[in-house]
Chains A and B, each alone.
Chain A
Amino acid sequence: MTIKLSAEMFDAVTEVFNVCVGHAARALNELVGAEVQIQIPHVDILDTREAMRLFSEEDEYNLLGVSMTFSGGFGGEALLLLTAKSVQNLATKIATSHGLPPEEANTFEALIEVGNIMLTTGFSRIADLLDVRLNADLPNYITGLEDVRSRFAQQLSDDIIWFRFGFSADEVAVEGYIGFVTDPMHTFLHAVEKLLESSS
């Protein structure tokens, strides 16, 4: 049984997450030098079982990605997931646009660094907005959503907030999505409540 948020609180949670969308997209734009399109973000409150089912449903592509655990003012996990073809295109584009030789187009390194930059930029902006300090673990390499499921199955509390948005950079044939899980949920909601109080 998941908790229900008031309309005001749900709006505030959505707005807090939206702060990171533009910054993460801008980071990718600067890395690849191409316009980045963003799909409408979604926020869901899920229990663990629903979250696992959702990740199963979305496992329709051959996805690779990066996850980062963050902690401090609140905790959770940030995810960047890309199609395998996108990762290859990303690596090639980053190497060539920075004047690096072709052998520098290492897909693993490119994915880890892009994930690190996009995800860290995203939650850093949220931390500043909520006036908390967050620390991040090193990025983890993910091969498919099975990795995500196994990580989350061990970590998640009963209820989580799952925020995600899709993005694409058509010019360089890159597409994927970013997700943030806040867990436990109450510490994050407490920070959002403080923001609401200070702005009312």
Chain B
Amino acid sequence: MRVLLIDDSRLQRAMLRQMVVNQYPDWEVADAASCNDAREQAGAGAFDFITLDINMPEENGLHFLPELRGLCPDARIAVISANVQSANQAEAREHGAQFISKPVNEEELLRFLAGETA
């Protein structure tokens, strides 16, 4: 399985990566610090799971989500943010993504990676 972690915070990416590899040491985990970086990586190869932050420099994750969905139509996507406003959660779901709040609960992330729907 291939996972893409999109978050401008290096610390957050490191924490998410640790959660993934603890459970799935054989999975390939890539990360992107911006939507542009993610755009390039998603365009170059398919991912099975993608996590997407909202509040990032240059481009808002929710604005990028429809394009990301187009680039990776088969990926399971989770929007991960502390911006837990109902409108943001609804917008994520409209584009077929789950919503996971920060701080990320490891069990919740693992349920997402196990393919369970929130």
A binds B: yes
The interface of chain A, by Cβ under 8 A from chain B, is 27, 30-31, 94, 98-100, 104, 106, 109-110, 112-113, 116-118, 120-121, 124-125, 127-128, 133-134, 136, 138
Q: In terms of DSSP, what is the predominant structure of the interface of chain A?
A: helix
The interface of chain B, by Cβ under 8 A from chain A, is 8-12, 14-15, 18-19, 22, 55-57, 81-88, 101-103, 105
10 residue pairs, one from A and one from B, having the closest CB atoms: A120-B82, A109-B11, A117-B82, A30-B103, A98-B15, A124-B84, A121-B82, A124-B85, A31-B103, A117-B102
B103 touches A117 (CB 8 A): yes
A98 touching B18 in the complex, CB below 8 Å, given contacts A134-B85, A136-B83: yes
B55 touches A136 (CB 8 A): yes
A113 touching B12 in the complex, CB below 8 Å, given contacts A99-B22, A138-B57: yes
Task: List residues of chain B with CB within 8 A of the CB of A120.
Answer: 55, 81-83, 102
Task: List residues of chain A with CB within 8 A of the CB of B55.
Answer: 116, 120, 136, 138
- The 11 sampled A-B contact pairs (Cβ below 8 Å) are A27-B102, A27-B103, A30-B105, A98-B18, A100-B14, A104-B11, A109-B11, A113-B11, A117-B103, A121-B84, A138-B57
How far is A118 from B12 in the complex, measured between Cα atoms in Å?
14
- From B11, B86, B103, A128 is in contact (CB under 8 Å) with B86
A99 touches B18 (CB 8 A): yes
B14 touches A104 (CB 8 A): yes
- From A27, A31, A133, B87 is in contact (CB under 8 Å) with A133
A100 touches B82 (CB 8 A): no
